[in-house]
Amino acid sequence: MENPRTTALIYDFDGTLARGNMQETSFIPALGMTPKEFWNDTVRPRTIESDGDDILMYMQLMLRTAKQAGLTVTREMLREHGRDVPLFEGLRDMSWFERINAFGANYGLTIKHYILSSGLQEMVEGCPIYPAFEHVFASHYVYNAKGEAEWPAVGINYTTKTQYLFRINKGVYNNWEHEKINRYIPDEERPVPFERMIFVGDGDTDVPTMKMMHTKGGHSIAVYDPNNEPSHQTKIHRLIADDRVNFIAAADYREGAPLDLIVKGILGRIAIAERTMPRD
């Protein structure tokens, strides 16, 4: 069993750690398309026409439109497109992770960071913050012997996200092992109880995950891009009124920002519940 005070910080990616969708920085422009042309004019109509899952549809259409543009999609190519994804303040230099890890250690907590995203794992692997994460649960492709992406291997949508909380809870770091996920395991034998989980997401697609975290005794934080229009912030504030989230804050990961203070406050609350004391 892991350290009994292991605490999980679980993040959505698009809109939570990075501005916008990761595919929009360089991949979609490389197809000769605008984000609107790809999402609204290509993915959305095809999804409705096929009565399909929008995550699987965008993944397949990324491959199809790339082929039409004469591009070969490989893991390394996707990683390259992830290198310059615009991360929010306080993340790119890794200071957020170092600071939160040190804060947790001072309270006797071992902090582990996870990503839970509908975006592409391969692009996340190209981001400079990738080494900070214990594990990344995200959508990804199957590759052939030449290293070319052929079809979606995993597509994580807003409702299937909830199963991955149980994978973290039970220490199952893959997508295929279901027996352990469905088997009863006493709470005291689970590596990370829900009470020591914090989920950070950015809105509608994260609502089921936030709600489950909230009802299971964990902690949920809704973040918003401070550069977005006020109507989006109002939408996020409504999550508190609907009792779906514990806190809201701007996606600013710098020291002293409201999000920094909220996470530290939650870690302090967890430490009190675990009856640990600061070391200084």
What span, in angstroms and rounded, lies between the C-alpha atoms of 74 and 179? 32
Task: Note whether residue 25 is domain-resident.
Answer: no
- How far, in Å, are 166, 167, 171, 173, 229 from residue 2 at the CA level? 16, 14, 9, 14, 43
CATH number of the domain encompassing residue 98: 3.40.50.1000
The number of distinct structural domains making up the chain is 2
Query: What pLDDT does residue 258 have?
Result: 97
Burial 101-123 (b: 16+ CB within 10 A, else e): bebbeebbbbbbbbbbbbbbbbb
47 and 174 in a common domain: no
pLDDT the model gives residue 214: 84
177: domain range? 6-18+87-273
**DSSP string covering 187-227:** GGGSSS-GGGEEEEE-SGGGHHHHHHHHHTT-EEEEEE-TT
Judgement on whether residues 57 and 159 belong to the same structural domain of the protein: no
Question: What pLDDT sits at residue 230?
Answer: 64
Q: What is the reported pLDDT for 86?
A: 96
**Residue 228: per-residue pLDDT:** 77
DSSP string covering 23-41: GGTTHHHHTT--HHHHIII
Residues in the chain with pLDDT < 70?
Answer: 1-4, 204, 229-233, 235, 241, 276-280
The pLDDT, as a whole number, for residue 279 is 53
pLDDT at 1: 37
What is the pTM for the complete model shown?
0.93
Residue 126 contacts residue 84 (beta carbons within 8 Å)? no
Task: Please give the pLDDT value at position 2.
Answer: 45
pLDDT, tens only, 155-171: 999 889 999 999 999 99
Do 153 and 225 fall into the same domain?
Answer: yes
pLDDT at 239: 75
Assigned domain for 27 exists: no
